[in-house]
Amino acid sequence: MTTTIRPWPALKVLIMRLHLYIGLLVGPFIFIAALTGTLYALTPALERAIFHDALTTSEVHSASEYRSLASQVSAAQSFLATDAMPSAVRPAPEPGTTTRVMFNAPGLTSGEHRAVFIDPATLEIRDDLTVYGTSGVLPLRRIIDQLHRSLMQGDIGRLYSELAASWLWIAALGGLAIWWFSPGGKVPHDKHTPSARRLRTRRRHSLLGLILLIGLLALSATGMTWSKWAGSNFFAILKAGGWGTPRVSVELGGSDAAADPHAHHMAGSAAADSGIALSAFDRVLSQARTAGLDAGPIELQVPASGKAWKVREVDRSWPSQVDEVAIHPQSFAVTDQVRFEQYSLPAKLTRWGIDGHMGLLFGLPNQLLLVALGIGIMTMTTWGYSMWWRRRASGSSQTLWQAIIAVPAPALAVVALVSLALGYMMPVMGVSLLVVLVIDGLRTLSARKRTSLA
């Protein structure tokens, strides 16, 4: 009689041990990412209050009262005492709001601009601030963004957020598997015993994880698109499949390759004032509107020598308005155009995912959902540590390697292949898994040594 080895009990133990290790070792990074992400989701409302004077005019004027873009750019140049051309201009998107005239300036990082905020009707200078990216975040949100992304430590700091994003979805699915294959258990009659408190905490942890599951997976996936290594691999796959985000060509006779959605942070960095007349701003804006760019938020990027103007919609709310046109600097004819409808489905999903992650897609409801997710993640992490702390003295001493060895060979081969593939696609996760296995291997050897000496 042949005995069939069932892999599921051993796999369940392996998942439980890995889930525990993720919580203990990666949990702090996930907690920090959730905390800074929650703060980031709150910043749009805070910025509107803090920078109210910069974003709005003292009086609401109709569009017919607006001065020409040439006059607005000239006012910004006079304010800065420079004759240099701006890198980009964002006309006032609606009555009561200001125009942004953005300049490159020494000391700013890629994607940052010095923005002069101007009343389009009176030419009053409302403020002078540093702005960043397509969403035009102001200094407060930029600081919190750097905290969330890298703890303000540059590329090295980005390891923390990529580590958190890479493991979050595995922790979420692992928790789902543990809940699915584990009995609920009965609460002891004495509800004040440590085991009763631990069981209640586990149930709350599991229930909250189930409620937040879709959000956890979405945050993890979209967060990885922003990461340095996993994100680069992701966009390489999109490009190889022809699913990259299309961009208009600013070459006067060439074409640009499809770019990733984060490329806009680099836009305008090479703008030059090669003989461009101020009157060109109004002609370019008029041509872009005629070409169908009808979003309120719109940006005119001043071309470098031998390049075309690039005009793009920058409305990241639903429905997305991200059409672009390229306009010839002399004839002002449209030389290239890309509409959002032309995006492939993967490119659209990427755009929506990133904007949802930033709290831009659905405005306030989106931001409140992100706050709820952030608080939920921090709560689950805290409960996880609480369960571990209460169980640490009496819990199983089984190591991760012991759980791995117990898995039948066929199932283990599948686990190994999947781990290698994921480690290749998400290098930070792969390297951190190797570190965990080394640490756990040392712990396993130590446990065997103690047993042999006993």
Mean pLDDT of the chain: 89
**Do 234 and 224 meet the contact criterion of CB atoms below 8 Å apart?**
yes
pLDDT the model gives residue 449: 75
Flag whether pLDDT at 269 surpasses 70.
no
Distances (CA, A) of 183 to 156, 186, 451: 43, 9, 32
- Lowest-confidence pick of 106-120, 286-300, 389-403, 421-435: 389-403
Residue 188 pLDDT level (bands cut at 50, 70, 90):
low
Q: Which of 162, 151, 161, 166 is CA-nearest to residue 22? A: 166
Flag whether pLDDT at 263 surpasses 50.
no
What is the C-alpha to C-alpha distance for residues 233 and 24, in angstroms, rounded to an integer?
28
Residue 194 pLDDT level (bands cut at 50, 70, 90):
confident
**Do 345 and 327 meet the contact criterion of CB atoms below 8 Å apart?**
no
**Do 78 and 72 meet the contact criterion of CB atoms below 8 Å apart?**
no
Edge-to-edge strand list for the sheet holding 125-132:
125-132, 112-118, 99-103, 88-90, 298-301, 309-313, 324-327, 334-338
243-357: CATH number: 3.10.450
Q: Is the whole model's pTM more than 0.85, yes or no? A: yes
**Do 324 and 248 meet the contact criterion of CB atoms below 8 Å apart?**
yes
Share of the chain above pLDDT 70, in %: 89
pLDDT tens for each residue of 115-132: 999 999 999 999 999 999
**Do 194 and 390 meet the contact criterion of CB atoms below 8 Å apart?**
yes
pLDDT the model gives residue 333: 96
Side-chain half-sphere exposure of 121, counting CA atoms within 13 A: 14
Residue 271 pLDDT level (bands cut at 50, 70, 90):
very low
How far the first Cα of the chain sits from its last, in Å, is 39
Burial of 38 (0-12, 13-18, 19+ CB in 10 A): buried
pLDDT the model gives residue 135: 83
Q: Cα-flanking dihedrals φ and ψ of residue 368, to 5°?
A: -65, -35
Tokens of 221: 């996936």
What is the C-alpha to C-alpha distance for residues 201 and 312, in angstroms, rounded to an integer?
50
Distances (CA, A) of 353 to 44, 249, 378: 18, 25, 22
pLDDT the model gives residue 78: 97
Q: Which of 312, 271, 255 is CA-nearest to residue 289? A: 312
What is the C-alpha to C-alpha distance for residues 111 and 99, in angstroms, rounded to an integer?
18
**Do 288 and 339 meet the contact criterion of CB atoms below 8 Å apart?**
no
Spell out the domain ranges in the chain: 7-43+148-231+362-453, 243-357
pLDDT tens for each residue of 4-21: 556 778 899 999 999 999
The mean pLDDT value for 348-368 works out to 94
The mean pLDDT value for 97-125 works out to 95
pLDDT, greater one: 257 or 444: 444
Residue 420 pLDDT level (bands cut at 50, 70, 90):
very high
Residue 255 pLDDT level (bands cut at 50, 70, 90):
very low
The mean pLDDT value for 427-450 works out to 88
Helices (H) and strands (E) in the chain, counts: 14, 8
